[in-house]
Amino acid sequence: MLLKELSNANGISGFEDEVRDLIKPNIPSYRTDVLGNLISFEEGKGLKVILAAHMDEVGLIATNIDEDGYILFKKAGGIDDRVLMAKRVVIGKNKINGVIGSKPVHLLKKEDLKKVIEYNKLYIDIGAENKKDAGKLVKIGDPIYFATKFKENGYNFIGKALDDRVGCSIILDMLKKDFSFSLYGAFTVQEEVGLRGARVVAHDTNPDICIVLEGTFASDTPDIKEELQIPKFGEGPAVTIADRTVICDPKLVKFFKDTAEKNNIPYQIKRPFTGGTDAGAIHLTKRGIPSGVIALPSRYIHAPASIGNKEDYKNMKNLVYRILEKIESEKGDFYGH
């Protein structure tokens, strides 16, 4: 299961090398650009379709080492401070092991126990004796990753970076299929810090249609009101109508929904105007590119570990294939091409 290898690979924004090197042997032809985007291409006739998914994950980056050898850091991407305390991490290419720590609970005042510890009051302990000792292992600017390993758990799977190694995995499956139109697979960089790689990819490929494959939040947890619990875990892939970065092309949204219903594939609508994806950059490129988003609902994204549903993953993969199959049969007529 390539998703396992992709989830276990390390690649925060700007440091996607390990993920990129894992993908390369699984695609027949590709090119990379200056930013590090990886683009697979199968040239065909007529319509040019791009599937896009980002390789980067949220994580941390080392910013300093104090005199006692503790590593100070900043966040790379959107991470809730509440999920950081006591998590295991690995640092840099040599994967130095560490634990995120703070003042021991026994020494805290009662009022401090009621507060979330902000990330700038945390540090990473690698067991170093002092600054010099730590400096032999860790350098300022080193990327820091959560040390989470992918596991299957009955109908579910647990791992880090499901946002968006799920999308990368499905693109790899789609690139094995044969279509007469031009199909591009874009594995983008730096999505978590501003959709940066997608801007370059869109200018480079200039597709007729873009389909972004993502990992999104599943919000059916006890602390969220029932009316806000969309999308839900286990109820199919989520189709985006609008998020904070894009209002998806209405024709594509309808096309996605009609295809799902015709093939009896369960799907749901993502809660509008939450989150953001590479579609936010791609749809604004040049004269505009019709863009849509399909995502796997996962619990606890942007955290050290997330949970995905195997059936949702299977249905998302099937829906993407059926969409491409229908594009093939209709030759883009649904979109006026």
| 73 and 38 inside one domain | no
Which domain CATH number covers 78? 2.40.30.40
Per the structure, the complete domain to which residue 202 belongs is given by: 2-57+160-335
Q: Same domain, yes or no, for 15 and 132? A: no
Q: Please report whether residue 235 resides in a domain.
A: yes
Does residue 151 lie in a domain region?
no
Q: Is residue 153 part of a domain?
A: no
Kindly give the confidence (pLDDT) of every residue in the chain, 337 residues in length, as a single tens digit, with 9 standing for 90 and above: 699 999 999 999 999 999 999 999 999 899 999 999 999 988 888 899 999 999 999 999 999 999 999 999 999 999 999 999 999 999 999 999 999 998 655 445 666 666 788 999 999 999 999 999 999 999 999 999 999 999 999 999 999 999 999 999 999 999 999 999 999 999 999 999 999 999 999 999 999 999 999 999 998 888 877 767 689 999 999 999 999 999 999 999 999 999 999 999 999 999 999 899 999 999 999 999 999 999 999 999 999 999 999 999 999 999 999 999 999 987 666 665 5
Work out the burial of residue 173: count CB atoms within 10 Å of its CB; fewer than 13 is exposed, 13-18 middle, 19 or more buried.
Answer: middle
Indicate whether 209 belongs to any domain. yes
146, 173, 197 - which closes a domain: 146
Which of residues 146, 179, 209 is at a domain's end? 146
The angle, 0 to 180 degrees and rounded to 10, between the axes of the packed helices 310-330 and 250-262 is: 110
At position 46, the amino acid (one-letter code) is: G
Q: pLDDT at position 105, please?
A: 55
Verify that 6 and 97 share a domain, yes or no: no
Q: Give the pairing type, strands 71-76 and 59-65.
A: antiparallel
Alpha-carbon gap, residue 235 to 309, rounded angstroms:
9
User: What is the structure's pLDDT at 164?
Assistant: 94
Residue 152 covered by a domain: no
Same-domain check for residues 178 and 228: yes
Residue 204 is part of a domain; what is its CATH number? 3.40.630.10
Residue 176 shares a structural domain with residue 278: yes
Contacting residues for 42 by C-beta, under 8 A, at least 6 apart: 28, 29, 175, 179, 182, 183, 184
Q: In degrees rounded to 5, what are phi and psi of residue 191?
A: -65, -40
Three-state DSSP class for residue 176: coil
Instruction: Specify if 154 maps to a domain.
Output: no
The secondary structure of 316-329 as a DSSP string is: HHHHHHHHHHHHHH
Which residue type is seen at 172? L
Among all residues, which ones are annotated catalytic? 191
- 180 and 122 within one domain: no
The reply to whether 28 and 83 lie within a common domain is no
Transcribe 159-170 into DSSP letters.
ES-HHHHHHHHH
Burial class (CB in 10 A: 0-12, 13-18, 19+), 228: exposed
Number of domains in the chain: 2
